[in-house]
Amino acid sequence: MGREVVRLALDAGLDVIVLSRRPPSGTSPVHHDGARYFRADVTTSAGLAEALQGADVVIDCLEGQFGKARKNFADGGARLLAAAAGAGVRKAVLLSIINCDRSNAAFYVSKADKERVYALSALETVVVRATQFHSLVTAVFQAGAKVRLIPVFKGARFQTISPSDVASELLAEALGEPSAERHRTRTIGGPDIRTMRELAGIWRKATGHAGRIVEVPLPGEMGKYLRNGLNLVPSQRTGTDTFESWLAKREDSL
C-alpha cells in the first residue's frame, strides 16, 4: 500500500520521502524515481528524525502482523508520531482496518491499540479504516490453488477494495485543509459486497485455474469477525475499482 501511495503522490507532483527498514536500491522494480528513500525503524526510532526532516504530513502504512512486530505495532506508531511532532509535521494519516476495535483477534487488537495512540496524539490525526484489499482474497485463492483447491471461508462475505482506491483516499486526507477536529476516523469500502464463493468464481474464471472451490470453516475470532459481517460497510462504497477490473490489470494475481 505504501508503494501505491508513493506512486500517486509522485504523480500529483508532491515531494515524497519514503521510510522503511529496507529501502529498495535504485535499480529495484519497486523503486520509484523521484522519491527520496530513508532507512528508518519505528521499533527503535533509528533514522526517524532524519527521515522526517521537512515533512508536512505523514501517511502511516506500516504493518506488524506477527510476534514481536505485532506486540510493538502500537508503540511503533507512538515513536513515529513523537518523531513527527519533533520534526514539525502538522498531520498524520493512519491506514487501519474496518471495525478492528470490535474483534478480539490479536492482529485486530494491535490495530485498535494503534488507533488509540493516534487519537491521543497532539498532532492532527486521521484514521482511515479500509475494508480488505482485493489482494487479500486472491492470496488465499492462490495459496490453495497450488494443490488445486480454492478455499472459501464458510459464511464469509467481502467488500474488497483496490490499493489505488485506498491510496487516493489516504492522499486526499493528507492533503485536506486543516480540520477543526484534532482527531477523525473514517471508513472506506470497495464497490461491491460479495460472498467469498462468488469472488472465488470470478478469480477462477479470470485466471483459468482448474481448482475446485471448497468451503472451509474459519474458526476463532477472525471467523467470528467475518461471519458477523464486521468487514462490511454497505453505506461507504468509496472505491470504484471492482474485483474484476482490478484483476484485469494485475498479471501477478492471475
Ligand X SMILES: NC(=O)c1ccc[n+]([C@@H]2O[C@H](COP(=O)([O-])OP(=O)(O)OC[C@H]3O[C@@H](n4cnc5c(N)ncnc54)[C@H](OP(=O)(O)O)[C@@H]3O)[C@@H](O)[C@H]2O)c1
Give the nearest distance from C-beta 208 to ligand X in angstroms.
24
Exposed (0-12), middle (13-18) or buried (19+): which is 30, by Cβ within 10 Å?
exposed
Q: How far is the CB of 83 from ligand X (least distance, A)?
A: 11
What residue has cell string 467469498?
196
Phi then psi for residue 183, to 5 deg, are -135, 135
Shortest CB 41 distance to ligand X, Å: 4
Longest dimension (CA), the chain: 55
Q: Residues with Cβ < 8 Å from 70, sequence gap 6 or more?
A: 64, 106, 107, 110
Sign of CA dihedral 6, 170, 224, 151: negative
Which is nearer to ligand X, 89 or 130 (by Cβ)? 130
Nearer to ligand X, 62 or 230 (CB): 62
Return residues touching ligand X (CB under 6 A): 1-2, 20-22, 40-43, 61-64, 76, 95, 97, 130, 132-133, 136
Nearer to ligand X among residue 136 and residue 212 (C-beta):
136
Cβ at position 54, least distance to ligand X in Å: 19
The residue (of 15 and 63) whose beta carbon lies closer to ligand X is 63
* Nearer of residues 68 and 146 to ligand X, judged by Cβ: 68
Burial class from Cβ neighbours inside 10 Å (0-12, 13-18, 19+) for residue 173 reads: buried
Using alpha carbons, list the distances in angstroms from residue 240 to 6, 51, 236, 244.
20, 33, 11, 11
List beta partners, residue 60. 94
Closer residue to ligand X in complex, CB, 76/211:
76
Question: Whole-number minimum distance, CB 145 to ligand X, in Å?
Answer: 19
Smallest distance from ligand X to CB 23, Å? 7
Query: What is the β-pairing status of strands 157-158 and 212-216?
Result: unpaired
Question: For residues 46 and 149, which CB has a smaller minimum distance to ligand X in the complex?
Answer: 46
Report the nearest approach of ligand X to the CB of residue 139 (Å): 8
* CA–CA–CA angle 94, 118, 16 (5° rounding): 40
